[in-house]
């Protein structure tokens, strides 16, 4: 069994009003040095497959076909093997 940890982020060119609102809230906490906040999604998927390479292929396809929309989002993921 493998665990895919998928990170979906808004593309750089896309404004992130949610991140901006959170940045304002953080700044109002008087936390110093906060300059930018971008909000994305984190998705975990358990995949049973023959090997890591195949799990990677499946995660890649899941991202491409459904989890991320290339018009506005980028994705990255890592795959780790779960103890049996």
Residues that bind another protein (CB under 8 A): 13-15, 17-18, 21, 66-67, 69, 71-72
CB of 78 to another protein, least distance (A): 20
Q: Which residue, 26 or 72, is less far from another protein as judged by CB?
A: 72
CB of 46 to another protein, least distance (A): 18
- Spell out a b/e string for 54-65, using b for 16 or more CB atoms within 10 Å of the CB, else e: ebbebbeebbee
CB of 17 to another protein, least distance (A): 5
Phi, psi of 73 (to 5 degrees): -130, 155
Distance CA 77, CA 60 (A): 8
């Amino acid at each position: 069994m493998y665990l895919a940890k998928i990170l979906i982020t808004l593309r750089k060119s896309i404004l992130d009003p949610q991140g901006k609102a959170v940045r304002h809230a953080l700044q109002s906490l008087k936390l110093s040095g906060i300059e930018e906040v971008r909000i994305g999604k984190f998705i975990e998927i358990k995949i049973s497959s023959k090997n890591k390479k195949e799990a990677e292929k499946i995660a890649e396809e899941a991202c491409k076909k459904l989890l991320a929309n290339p018009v506005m989002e980028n994705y990255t993921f890592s795959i780790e093997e779960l103890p049996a």
